[in-house]
Each structure stands twice: as C-alpha cells, then as structure tokens.
Amino acid sequence: MKKICILLLITCSRLYTQAQACPWFPADCPADQLGDSVERLNNPVAPQEISMEFRMHDFLTDQMQMLADKKKWELHPYDESHGTGFLNADRSGPLAFNLRPPHEYEISFIFIVNADSLRAWQEWQKEFILDMAAQAEKISQGNNDFSAITKMQDSQKRITERFRRASMIRVKFVLNAADGATLSSIQDNMHPTGSLAVPHAVLAMEAHNNQTDERAIFDLNQFTRTGDLAFILFGNWNLKPNAYQYYYPVYKADRKNMDLVTPKNITSDKIRTIVMHVEGAPAYLHQFLQTLDTDKLNQIITP
C-alpha cells in the first residue's frame, strides 16, 4: 500500500515538474539544443561542417517561422543534433575536409496550431494532477478502492491523444541522413494510407498508427506518439527500400562516397538529401505541406 502511494505521488510530482518545463506544456517541450562552435570542434568536425549546421539552423528556422506566420500558428524549437566527426589515420586531428563523407544534421520544431485547444489541454492537465493527488491521499488513509485510479489512467491516454491532435504538430528534418530513412523505426501498428502531392519530393506518403505511445523516443525516430504521420524525401534516393523498409541515398551505393580515404567530388558540408517527418492530425499535416515552400528546400540540395 505504501509503495503504491509513493508511486502515485511520484507520478503527480513528475507531471507537475513537466508542467514547469515550458509555457506550452503538455505539448512537447524542447530537448537539448546544439552546442557552441568550440564544443563542436572537439567532436572532431570540420569548421565548414559547423558552418553548415548553423547555416541550416538559420535557414530552416526562418522557413518554419514564415510558415507559422502565414498560418498564424506558434513556432517553438524542439530538438537539434548533428553527425559525428572523423579523425585522420593517426588520430592526431580531424580528417582532411576533402576526404569527409556527407555531414548529417537534424532539427525539429513544434507548431501550436490551435491555442484554444492547448489552453483546454493545460486546464485538463492541472485537474488531472489534482485528482491523482487526491486519490493518492485517499489510498494513504486506508481506502483500498483503486478503481478511480485505474479509470483515470485509462482515460489519460485517450484524452491526451485527442488534445495532441487538436493542438500541435511536430516536424523533423534530417539532412544527409547517414543511416538512411524510414517511415518510423517502430512500424508494428503503422500502415501507409496514401501518397501525398509535395512538389520536388521524390517520395511522399501518409501513414496511420493504430497504437499511439507517449513513451516513443523521438531521437530514435519512433514516430508513434500520434496517430498520423507524413514521410517525405527530397534529393536523389534509391526508392526501393530494403527488407527493413529503409531508404538510402543513391550516393551511398558507391563506397568511395562514404569511405575516409577517397577525395570527394562534393564536399561534406553540401546538402545531398532531406528527410522530413510531420506528426499530427491529417488536416494540419496537409495545411503544413500546402504552405511549405518546397522550392526553397529543393534549392539547398546539391545534386
């Protein structure tokens, strides 16, 4: 009994702490952001690759802000990360710039698409925390009826999913994806529902997930937190996926483009491919894609 009460109180405390993380919680709050250039040089990456990261940060952030302004949505950063660097043969310093394979960079954003729905979500979350705390107090006083707690936990997932779809979308870009691209690294309950018309995209599909999971790990490309997803590829890709449903850039078929000893015709700081995932309700996914300036995206790609 005591252990159960402690677990319930820990749950309430965790929810309260999360609520302080950012003003738009319970919509997703930002993860760790990109470090400064001094930190990045210790990776070891090339200065030109660091410049590419900051250039792409500014470009994609500007593009997303312009889209948000057009739609009267709120834009918030979510996550940002980068590819690893390479040492030279004797490990005395960074690999020469002309020998480096394409450098990976990724960035993601949260759009609040309906402020009224977000406020309703926040009010519901506050009431949920108070109700959970009240039930924990009753149990601590000897009430052995856990039915109210069970009902609350059962309804939390359903209500959270409904508010998420009504309040936000999440967008992720990966440039020069080193490990290829897939619809989602977890696809057990996910199935494509149709193709999308996205200018300049070589592949654009929509999918539905029958089993959402709030614990899905975004950094591992587990796009199962919401029920619907758009998956889009720009650049030169092999459009026949492997047995695990991963797509790979055409340049990766030639080992010389990926090894660390062959001089490269195209330097590592150039954008070769773009992967985009958009999570959210279909109506908002479509609005996002219809407003996205894909001409600008296509212009940054080096064939």
What predicted TM-score, i.e. pTM, was given to this entire model?
0.89
Q: E strands, the chain, where?
A: 74-82, 105-112, 168-175, 190-195, 201-209, 228-235, 237-238, 248-249, 273-279
Distance between CA atoms of 37 and 280, rounded to whole angstroms? 33
Distance between CA atoms of 32 and 106, rounded to whole angstroms? 13
Compute the average pLDDT of residues 172-179: 96
Domain edges within the chain? 28-114+167-299
Distance between CA atoms of 166 and 162, rounded to whole angstroms? 6
Q: What is the pLDDT of residue 285?
A: 97
For the chain, how many residues are written? 303
Distance between CA atoms of 285 and 208, rounded to whole angstroms? 12
Q: CA-based Rg of the chain, rounded to a whole angstrom?
A: 22
Query: Between the ranges 17-26, 36-45, 164-173, where is the mean pLDDT highest?
Result: 164-173
Compute the average pLDDT of residues 256-282: 97
Least confident of 12-16, 155-159, 240-244: 12-16
37: which 2 tokens?
A: 């250039």
Least confident of 10-19, 219-228, 249-258: 10-19
Compute the average pLDDT of residues 20-39: 71
Structure-model confidence comparison of residues 176 and 128, the more confident one: 176
Distance between CA atoms of 26 and 122, rounded to whole angstroms? 6
By percentage, how much of the chain surpasses pLDDT 90? 69
159: which 2 tokens?
A: 């209500």
pLDDT, one tens digit per residue, over 281-295 is 999 999 999 999 999
Q: What is the pLDDT of residue 20?
A: 56
Compute the average pLDDT of residues 174-187: 95
Res 32 pLDDT > 60:
no
181: which 2 tokens?
A: 């691209």
Distance of CA 54 to the CA centre of its chain: 18
Mean pLDDT over the full length of the chain: 89
